[in-house]
Amino acid sequence: MAVITDAQRADVYFFCGWPQRFVQVNTALEFALDVISTKPEMQALLTNAITATPPGLLAQARLLHDVTIPSAYRRLKALKVGSIELSGPGELRALARQGQRLVNAICSVLGVQRDVDVFSPGRGAGAPNLGGMYSYGSGGGDSNWVGK
């Protein structure tokens, strides 16, 4: 049986919004990652390379986060000069929703709840309101959120 790699574990923590410093606190997620290593079909769903058929959820989320969304920012063009209107926010919102779908699927496969994911503009349970990496508002958040 293959084991979930440290890089894949880090991706799960990153996309599901659990900082690595909470590894000891989030025993449910750690247990799920250990258990999935014994289930090849579930591990494949989660960890297949992007070139595999079907690609794994982590690879899809990483590609969306590292390549697709940044390239969408490069395509933003002004539609109006007066009160500037950009042509890409709809595409960015759609890509963020796709990222949220992938994060929800990752958490569903693992049987754990997500906290804040990098694609979400909102607040998760016990997490800061960071405005999300791809938020469209002003963001903001609590500076001391642990334990709230």
Phi first, then psi: give them for residue 76, nearest 5 degrees: -65, 130
88 sits in the region (left: phi over 0; alpha: psi -120 to 50; else beta) called: alpha
Domain contains 83: yes
pTM listed for this prediction: 0.67
Domain contains 84: yes
Angstrom distance (rounded) from CA 99 to CA 126: 21
Angstrom distance (rounded) from CA 62 to CA 82: 37
Q: For the chain, what is the domain count? A: 1
pLDDT at position 23 is 63
Q: What is the dihedral of CA 138, 124, 70, 109, to 10 degrees?
A: -170
Tokens of 125: 């349970």
pLDDT at position 116 is 79
pLDDT at position 137 is 35
pLDDT at position 65 is 92
Where in the sequence is the domain holding 98, given as residue range(s)?
6-110
pLDDT at position 63 is 94
Tokens of 50: 């992007």
Domain contains 20: yes
pLDDT at position 122 is 53
Domain contains 143: no
The answer to whether 129 touches 122, Cβ cutoff 8 Å, is yes
Domain contains 106: yes
Domain contains 139: no
Domain contains 19: yes
Of 132, 139, 110, nearest to 4 by C-alpha is 110
Domain contains 53: yes
For residue 102, count other CB atoms closer than 10 A to its CB: 22
pLDDT in tens, the chain (148 residues): 578 888 998 898 888 888 767 666 678 888 888 888 888 889 999 999 999 988 999 999 999 999 998 888 777 766 666 666 666 667 788 888 999 999 999 999 998 888 877 886 654 444 443 334 443 333 333 333 333 2
Beta strands in the chain (DSSP E): 78-80, 85-86
pLDDT at position 16 is 86
Tokens of 69: 């969304």
Tokens of 53: 């058929």
